[in-house]
Amino acid sequence: MNQYGRRLMEAWRALAPSECAQIPDPSYHFSTLGEEAQELIEEELATLILPPATSYLEGVGQTNAAKKAIEERVLADLMPATGGLPAVDPEQVLSGIGEPVDLDEYQAQQNDPLASFAQTIQQLQDHQNS
């Protein structure tokens, strides 16, 4: 099993243990998946066109950075689906957003400590009433 197969197996065990447990032959599965990842990475690297480097070390750095980015993208595509982010109710999100603020009024309050204090008190009262 190559490095990509090992990385994928570890990720699957951590992110989707029940799905991983259902794989009949994990060693074969992740060996094959690792080989597939390596082929995809090598194919993308072969078509990669980097800008000309000003020095040898800069060229090595560009190549390594590009390879890491390709590896991350390919491995992410082969990771288990974890269900994504939880659903969010847009109304709930919008309810947490306050009313639009007049910019001049806001700037005046920032320069006036008493106005800022009064606004803080008002916000506390509004919060207690809601």
Q: What pLDDT digit, counting tens, does each position of 31-82 carry?
A: 999 999 999 999 999 898 888 878 899 888 888 999 999 999 999 888 876 6
Residue type, 31: S
Specify if 85 maps to a domain. Answer: no
Residues in the chain: 130
User: pLDDT tens digits, residue range 90-123?
Assistant: 666 566 566 666 766 666 666 666 666 677 777 7
Whether residue 6 contacts residue 31, with contact meaning beta carbons closer than 8 Å, is answered with no
pLDDT surpassing 50 at residue 85: no
Query: How confident is the model at residue 121, as a pLDDT?
Result: 77
Does 73 share its domain with 100?
no
Structural domains of the chain, count:
2
If asked whether residues 11 and 62 sit together in one domain, one would say yes
Are 20 and 10 in contact by the 8 Å Cβ rule? The answer is no
- Distance CA(72)–CA(60), nearest Å, equals 18
pTM over cut 0.75: no
Quote the domain boundaries for residue 47: 3-77
Within-domain flag for 84: no
Of 34, 56, 77, the position where a domain reaches its end is 77
Say if 82 falls within a structural domain.
no
pLDDT, residue 124, reads 81
